[in-house]
């Protein structure tokens, strides 16, 4: 690939990430957040959002839609993605890995059900980070207007189980990249 095309691709990827902030929600690990930030090159906002307003005591889970409202109100510029270890839900589903306004400004993803420990297995930090990065890019895709993709290797494919999160890649497929106006290469 000619050098000018590579520079153009890199500029497109930087522009795609520009204006996105990653926000801690609750007691999310600062170290994990920094690792996700380093892998995605998405900036981390200072402070953290208290998820207590979204707790549903009867379910023992947090209403992800309510957290989207809180994130959007607290961060009024650009796109904001919350990272939490709280167990998220929407009323019609038992749980969600994440939720986003589509298209919109606010999204959130949870690592609770991405952790091996949730399934009675030993911790696996590398796998957790990989899963979290996939869910982050998935929610960013929704923020940018993408719907679920039928290509199961695309990060925009739907996932209703952790096995499906593992089956998809961490990049947008060619069709989704085209809809986003991105050239080939890394997100």
Separation between Cα atoms, residue 50 and residue 23, nearest integer Å: 11
**Which residue numbers are catalytic?**
139
Q: DSSP string spanning the chain?
A: --HHHHHHHHHHHHHHHTTEEEEEESS--HHHHHHHHHHHT-EEEEEEE-GGGGEETTTTEEEHHHHHHHHHHH--SSEEEEEE-SPEE-TTSS-BSEEE-SSSSEEEEE-GGGSGGGGT----HHHHHHHHHHHHHHHHHHHTT----S-TTSTTS--SSHHHHHHS-SS--HHHHHHHT--SS--
Partner residues linked to 106 by β-bridges: 80
């Amino acid at each position: 690939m000619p050098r000018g095309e590579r520079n153009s691709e890199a500029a497109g990827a930087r522009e795609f990430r520009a204006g996105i902030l990653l926000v801690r929600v609750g007691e999310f690990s600062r170290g994990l957040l920094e690792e996700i930030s380093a892998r995605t090159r998405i900036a981390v906002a200072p402070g953290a959002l208290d998820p207590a307003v979204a707790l549903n005591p009867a379910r023992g889970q947090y209403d992800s839609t309510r957290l989207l409202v809180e994130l959007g109100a607290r961060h009024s510029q650009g796109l904001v993605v919350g990272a939490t270890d709280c167990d998220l839900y929407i009323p019609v589903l038992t749980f969600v890995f994440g939720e986003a306004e589509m298209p919109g400004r606010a999204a959130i993803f949870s690592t609770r059900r991405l952790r091996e420990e949730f399934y009675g297995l030993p911790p696996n930090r590398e796998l957790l980070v990989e899963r979290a990065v996939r869910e982050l890019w998935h929610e960013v895709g929704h923020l940018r207007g993408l719907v679920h993709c039928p290509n199961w290797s695309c990060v925009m494919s739907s996932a209703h189980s952790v096995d499906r999160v593992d089956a998809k890649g961490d990049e947008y497929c060619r069709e989704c990249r085209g809809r986003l106006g991105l050239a080939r290469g890394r997100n």
